[in-house]
Amino acid sequence: MILALETSCDETAAALVEEDGTIRSSVVSSQADLHARYGGVVPEVASRRHLELVVPVIREALEQGNASLDDVTRIGVTRGPGLIGALLVGLSAAKALAWARRLPLAPVDHLHGHVASLFLEPGPVDPPFLCLLASGGHTLLLDVQAHDGFRVLGTTLDDAAGEAFDKGARLLGLGYPGGAAIDRLAREGEPTAYDFPRARVPGLDFSFSGVKTALLYTVRDLTPKELERRRADLAASYQRAIVGALVDRTRAAAEETGAGRIAVVGGVAANSELRAALPDAALAPLELCTDNAAMIGSAARFVEPVAYPQYLALDAYATSS
């Protein structure tokens, strides 16, 4: 059984995952309410909160899984990318647990974890497939040929899709996290009310800075009363532009690579319009779209573990190479 930890951003998470991909428990303590007053994640605040939560979350995962540390045969943990201070909390806790129990430790790349959310029971998706990974910090098109990794086909040249949602929500005076707020409000609006641009960049890359700027200028030209009246239309049109860009580029990548199957993972995969726009895609379960430790435990099954005590020298990394 794998005990996995995830602390890359503002969720403190622990999970128990069996070698066959069965989730025994998955506990996530979100800091969204804590950071909402700032309109986004404050790294130092997140790190300190992880310190307070990591041990209680581990205990809760063991309790929910009806297990003890004696049942654990491997520790899995997110090593990066993410907020470096937040990552170090989880990595230090994982090292301590592994060292104390003389267990191997599997360092997991956070992006691999998102892809590996598709490998869990009860409906695992086996490679090969083309994967759209869209979250607050990353927007990638990945060629997944095996369980243990992937090849990057395209990435964002500026903002990630989730970041664009968060910044758009801030411009519209909505709450944090912005993606969920825009998704809710967009259901009340007309998605063709505004014609926001979709960037056309070379290859299979994305760009969302232009649509964000277009929303900014549109909002600036409205009076407060007009903004209140058109807020739902703005949300729906803005969401349509972002989702349209994701879908268009994903379908282009599938055609270019000859991929027989498309999958979607990451926090933005919870967006209702995106899920509806790709009805034939393999979609990460809603509870596994946002950051969680079950996906890290899933990826840890396919990562070569580091033996005791060599992992004590491991360091976290903020960005992928």
Is there a domain that residue 187 lies in? yes
Q: What letter represents residue 55's amino acid?
A: V
Give the C-alpha separation, 95 to 107, whole Å.
Answer: 10
Is there a domain that residue 109 lies in? yes
User: CB atoms < 10 A from the CB of 125, how many?
Assistant: 19
Residues 302 and 194 grouped into a single domain: no
Two tokens, residue 19: 């070698």
Residues 62 and 152 grouped into a single domain: no
Q: What is the DSSP letter of 197?
A: -
| CATH number of the domain encompassing residue 139 | 3.30.420.40
Residues 184 and 293 grouped into a single domain: no
Two tokens, residue 190: 């007309």
Range of the domain at 139: 129-260
Residues 113 and 136 grouped into a single domain: no
Task: Write down the pLDDT at residue 39.
Answer: 78
Question: Please, how many CA atoms are within 13 Å of residue 146, restricted to the half-sphere of its CB?
Answer: 6
Is there a domain that residue 282 lies in? no
Is there a domain that residue 268 lies in? no
Residues 80 and 160 grouped into a single domain: no
CB of 305 within 8 A of CB of 72?
A: no
Residues 6 and 86 grouped into a single domain: yes
Is the backbone of residue 82 left (phi > 0), alpha (psi -120 to 50) or beta? left
Task: Write down the pLDDT at residue 143.
Answer: 98
Give the C-alpha separation, 257 to 238, whole Å.
Answer: 29
Kindly report whether the peptide bond that precedes residue 177 is cis, defined as omega within 30 degrees of 0: yes
Residues 40 and 63 grouped into a single domain: yes
Task: Write down the pLDDT at residue 33.
Answer: 82
Residues 40 and 135 grouped into a single domain: no
- Whole-prediction pTM: 0.95
Taking each helix axis as running N to C, give the angle between helix 209-220 and helix 161-171, from 0 to 180 degrees, rounded to the nearest 10. 10
**Residue keyed to tokens 């592994």:** 98
Is there a domain that residue 21 lies in? yes
Secondary structure class of 90 (helix, strand, coil):
helix
Q: How many domains does the chain have?
A: 2
Comparing C-alpha atoms, which of 158, 8, 138, 142 is closest to residue 80? 8
CB of 206 within 8 A of CB of 249?
A: yes
Residues 111 and 146 grouped into a single domain: no
Residues 39 and 101 grouped into a single domain: yes
Is there a domain that residue 278 lies in? no
Is there a domain that residue 15 lies in? yes
Residues 134 and 235 grouped into a single domain: yes
Is there a domain that residue 283 lies in? no
Give the C-alpha separation, 285 to 135, whole Å.
Answer: 14
Residues 28 and 106 grouped into a single domain: yes
Q: What tens-digit pLDDT sequence spans the chain (321 residues)?
A: 999 999 999 999 999 999 999 999 999 998 888 888 887 889 899 999 999 999 999 999 999 999 999 999 999 999 999 999 999 999 999 999 999 999 999 999 999 999 999 999 999 999 999 999 999 899 999 999 999 999 999 999 999 999 999 999 999 999 888 899 999 999 999 999 999 999 889 899 999 999 999 999 999 999 999 999 999 999 999 999 999 999 999 999 999 999 999 999 999 999 999 999 999 999 999 999 999 999 999 999 999 999 999 999 999 999 986
269-302 b/e (C-beta count within 10 Å ≥ 16 → b) = bbbebbbebbeebbbbeeebbbbbbbbbbbbbbe
Phi, psi of 285 (to 5 degrees): -55, 145
Task: Write down the pLDDT at residue 321.
Answer: 66
